[in-house]
Structure 1
């Protein structure tokens, strides 16, 4: 995995490797040099191999990766997103590419199998010409935070509804839509926990909408306690291939409202385990938020149903089982019945 220092796909890679190793699978984690990732994987019981994974002028990573893999002698090599797939060599192993979005499939030309973490992504890869039997759906899991102690932020009064959103401050996350929506929901305090290039724009918007006293942006914060403490968890993204944060909301037994972008639309059955609002529609997003905050019975029903969805599909146990099935199926000399 040669991705960035932070991000949903990168952090899930870490969680998956650690969980697979703890389950007894023999894992070699090869990563782009990053002190934080090295520390987290090491603390999780894995000794990763670090390589440069640089640009076009990097002529050493591919042969070093090839040598590393041949010493380890894997049955299956998973190239985790574009840069890793560009460097991944072929060999006596099965080479599979794992995508978390609608990426350029030319990076994966040496792969014989592709993995998508949503059904929509799998269908898209088949439409791009990949054989159906060589494209596989294997979902993400979120850690179980259902029993984490709630941690309400001190800057949010105890007697007001607390709405939470998480993510990088980027246009894709549509926190601008959420700020405009919160201006339509009086008395509610919003926390957006994250950092990114849109901070100044979002702060200006909060002033324009006259909600600076009700919108809090503390930067990155440990999310588990915040999710458990909030009255409503919101994912307003205008572009979200999966929506790990939605799964985290499910895990925490919190009601979830999301914009109907690709991933949340697949995760949420509207009115059953969450509510959906049209993308880029602050009025409808505000209406969905108000509906949940005003109806405790609805909020409870959505939260319980979301937790059931998590336990059935997105908890570590079912996802690790799905990965194990996939690895057995694609390994060289796998039984025909696999």
Structure 2
């Protein structure tokens, strides 16, 4: 990476699916520090399976999950999955957790509470340490024999994706790092999307809009999920997007359609929004991208998780890595 961003790790974030292991191998060749996998059972395949496959295809790059959703797995199943990937990867694994914002909304449920997240992470730490935890009122412990898992304690960094004061306070007590705003004591990562322009290409080109669109339409998705028609209609193009969604799904099933293609693909109704999305942030020639990364480093971020999307993810990974190293 250029001098402006010395000390800033450039990682990438990818959905678990058929191409994940191959893209992880490419990310390693391109010099990315870490590849993060998403976790949302209603949207993607199982992250632990794909992390294990990626571990066998790589040797250096870090592997991580952003973010794991506690209510999708019992704490014992989570501990066993983490132990498995940590062993197969030779200790290259990091696990980050959140309250399950999108993953929960896609199944019609609210995100878990901070208190529930705290209890889950506390028990998980105890299990990975080889201690006895209390889950659902009963003592539990990892009972894996010496030939069935790595011996405890299992050293895996546990991070939290948090933004509000209660979440940050929890991270200060229980986490090894944060995905969120820069923290004075804990290493912090931020998630970004963007694309490197081809020579002579304009930021508002059709290619740019297709490449960054899956992440940039989230404001409309979130507005509808939280505030319904009134909130999303207040956004440019929001009413047309909402009417297309509501025509496609009956009232009781609209939560199934709101986040369809979440951060990976554009639906036809999402394409109605492409004329309104931000095409400036983290979009530019290599020099501009390098400056933007340097600005993030100067504000205190330790790691940037770049999330490539669009019809040519390999192109996006390669171009962004080259820009970061310029």
Higher relative contact order (CA 8 A, sep 6+): 2
Common fold by TM > 0.5: no
